Amino acid sequence: MSHERVHFGSKLGIILATAGSAVGLGNVWRFPYMAGENGGAAFIVVYIACVLLLGIPCMVSEFIIGRHGASNTARAYTKMAAESLQASSAQASPSALRRSRALSKAGALIGYLGVLTGFLITGYYAVVSGWCLQYVYASSVGQLKGDASYVTDYFQQFSSSLFMPAFWTVAILLICHVVIIRGVRHGIERASKVMMPALFVLLLIIVAASCMLPGAAAGVRFLLEPNFTALNGNVFLSALGQSFYSLSIAMGCICTYASYYSRQTNLLHSAVQISFVDCLVAILAGLMIFPAAFSVGVSPDSGASLVFITLPNVFNQAFGSWPVLGWVISIAFYLLLSLAALTSLMSLHEVATAFFFEEFHITRGQGALIVTAVTAVIGIFCSMSLGAMPGLSLGGRSLFDVFDFVTGQIFLPVGGFLTCLFLGWYVPKSIVRDEFTNWGTTSRRFFSLYLFLIRYLCPLAILVIFLHQLGWLI
Ligand code: PHE
């Protein structure tokens, strides 16, 4: 069966869908607490530098491979590898040819790694996304009202119980499924065009409410006044890891979405615009959380429990004298979180759906069904490992943490590293240049800089974080 390749319908659709993948729990849930733990604004400056020098080049690289291949991530890498082999085999000696063949096979494998990473992370990401849905429900029926210890217990009991987290995991995967089976234009693009502006409006409303609280200025200062004495090696590594995670790099998502881009899409401009939106949302999320946290005297560096424990407390205390406003804001906040999670989950789901659909010659609906079913099972197990079935662990980590660790800390850097080497050193420069400049029709001003970054700086920086993580392991 051959499939007619679809494209996104508009430039705005491209930006919103890809920014939808990038803007996710990472921005609202992970970024603020990382900034809080690593010195506030100083962290943000380092983070922006990482996005500019490393994130954007890696994103452009995935765009190039995805659009060039116009197919799912595994096949896109395979095609690029095969074409590069062909180009290099013309004047090669037999030994060079053998080496080139081996490298071409290795290149194709990077694509499979991307699909696998995306697939595995979907289930675990769905669990946290499901928590957001539960919190929309809980805040709307007033279940989150209570003192600090009540809110802590609520989260602990909920996240470790058997049924509800599994229910919400499946629910969010089903919502995602419904969008995905409608296809790229009518499903993903249309949903992103509604959800992303909605997310942005909600965000602005909550930022305004948060900044108007008494004593909020201290939180704004904490976020926006750089304190460079807080910077150390760890801060750089956290910023780098966070920038890759936040831009959805090395999970197949960017590459898969780029396969729906047209030949007119300016890849560098798109990467810059998407990264800008992603950074903006992350910083606004900080502006939403810190002023409110400072206003009620809650420490901003409360780790991952920030949005599920600290914030309900903040909503209860900060809006104590305006309970209805507090109620509306907290529903709006969890709705925002759910939307952000959903658009990212869609992109993760699409990686594997496109793979099954194109490689196994089945329909899109069947491909999506396989992905939804398998990731639901993974998600349920991950969720149960947090309390209902503590036996679901490996080497002292719960299954949930294992998935987080293996995908985020191992597969992600390995995939990013290999992609840079593949495109920077193996693929002929002419192919990369043609894609970068849309076959000579757009400016090639930044091409040499881009090539330098993906050849040297990006692989080196990724290697350093990876080794650092291994150092922690030992
Ligand atoms: N970028 C998303 C976020 O910020 C997370 C994500 C990673 C989504 C990888 C898709 C793929 O939450």
Please identify, by atom number, the ligand 1 atom nearest to the C-alpha of residue 23.
4
Cα(62) to ligand 1 centroid in Å equals 15
CB 159 less than 6 A from any atom of ligand 1: no
Q: Which of 344, 353, 403 to mutate to test the pocket of ligand 1 (most atoms within 8 A of CB)?
A: 344
CB 114 less than 6 A from any atom of ligand 1: no
Band (pLDDT 50/70/90 cuts) for residue 1 is very low
pLDDT tens track for 76-113:
999 999 999 988 877 778 888 888 888 889 999 999 99
| Token duo for residue 100 | 């080139």
Share of the chain above pLDDT 90, in %: 57
Cα(302) to ligand 1 centroid in Å equals 21
Average pLDDT on 182-211 reads 91
CB 26 less than 6 A from any atom of ligand 1: yes
Cα(53) to ligand 1 centroid in Å equals 19
Residue 250 has pLDDT above 50, yes or no: yes
pLDDT tens track for 405-415:
888 778 888 89
Instruction: Give Cβ neighbours of residue 128 (< 8 Å, ≥ 6 apart).
Output: 25, 29, 341
CB 348 less than 6 A from any atom of ligand 1: yes
CB 432 less than 6 A from any atom of ligand 1: no
Residue 474 has pLDDT above 60, yes or no: no
Cα(341) to ligand 1 centroid in Å equals 8
Output the DSSP codes for 120-171. HHHHHHHHHHHHHHHHHHHHHTTTT-S-HHHHHHHHHHHHT-SHHHHHHHHH
Cα(231) to ligand 1 centroid in Å equals 25
Closest Cα to atom 11 of ligand 1:
248
| Token duo for residue 148 | 């600090």
Handedness of CA 57, 59, 65, 69 (dihedral sign): negative
CA distance 144 to 313: 8
DSSP 251: S
Taking CA 122 as the corner, what is the angle to CA 116 and CA 191, rounded to the nearest 5 degrees?
A: 120
Band (pLDDT 50/70/90 cuts) for residue 195 is very high
CB 71 less than 6 A from any atom of ligand 1: no
Please identify, by atom number, the ligand 1 atom nearest to the C-alpha of residue 27.
4
Q: Which secondary-structure segment (H or E) carries 271?
A: helix 267-295
pLDDT tens track for 294-347:
888 877 666 657 788 888 888 888 777 788 888 998 999 999 899 999 999 999
CB 21 less than 6 A from any atom of ligand 1: yes
Residue 303 is predicted with a pLDDT of 61
CB 253 less than 6 A from any atom of ligand 1: yes
Give 55 or 148, the one with higher predicted confidence.
55
Of 232-236, 431-435, 443-447, least confident by mean pLDDT is 232-236
How many CB atoms lie under 10 A from the CB of residue 89? 13
Tell me what the pLDDT averaged over the chain comes to. 89
How many CB atoms lie under 10 A from the CB of residue 275? 21
CA distance 267 to 438: 8
CA distance 191 to 184: 10
Cβ-based burial of 142 (10 A; exposed 0-12, middle 13-18, buried ≥19): exposed
Handedness of CA 397, 402, 408, 413 (dihedral sign): positive
Q: Which of 214, 225, 175, 213 is nearest to 346 (CA)?
A: 175
Residue 465 is predicted with a pLDDT of 78
CB 419 less than 6 A from any atom of ligand 1: no
The model carries a pTM of 0.92
CB 199 less than 6 A from any atom of ligand 1: no
Range among 163-172, 199-208, 380-389 with highest mean pLDDT value: 163-172
Of 248-252, 316-320, 368-372, least confident by mean pLDDT is 316-320
Cα(345) to ligand 1 centroid in Å equals 8
Please identify, by atom number, the ligand 1 atom nearest to the C-alpha of residue 253.
11
Residue 66 has pLDDT above 50, yes or no: yes
Q: Which of 33, 84, 29, 57 is nearest to 272 (CA)?
A: 57
SS3 393: strand
Give 449 or 119, the one with higher predicted confidence.
449
CA distance 109 to 7: 25
Average pLDDT on 125-138 reads 95
CA distance 474 to 472: 6
CA distance 381 to 389: 8
Helix residue ranges, H only, 385-446:
399-403, 412-421, 429-436
Q: Which of 245, 256, 280, 283 to mutate to test the pocket of ligand 1 (most atoms within 8 A of CB)?
A: 245
Handedness of CA 444, 445, 448, 449 (dihedral sign): negative
CB 176 less than 6 A from any atom of ligand 1: no
CB 245 less than 6 A from any atom of ligand 1: yes
Cα(21) to ligand 1 centroid in Å equals 6
CB 18 less than 6 A from any atom of ligand 1: no
Please identify, by atom number, the ligand 1 atom nearest to the C-alpha of residue 341.
12
Instruction: Give Cβ neighbours of residue 470 (< 8 Å, ≥ 6 apart).
Output: none
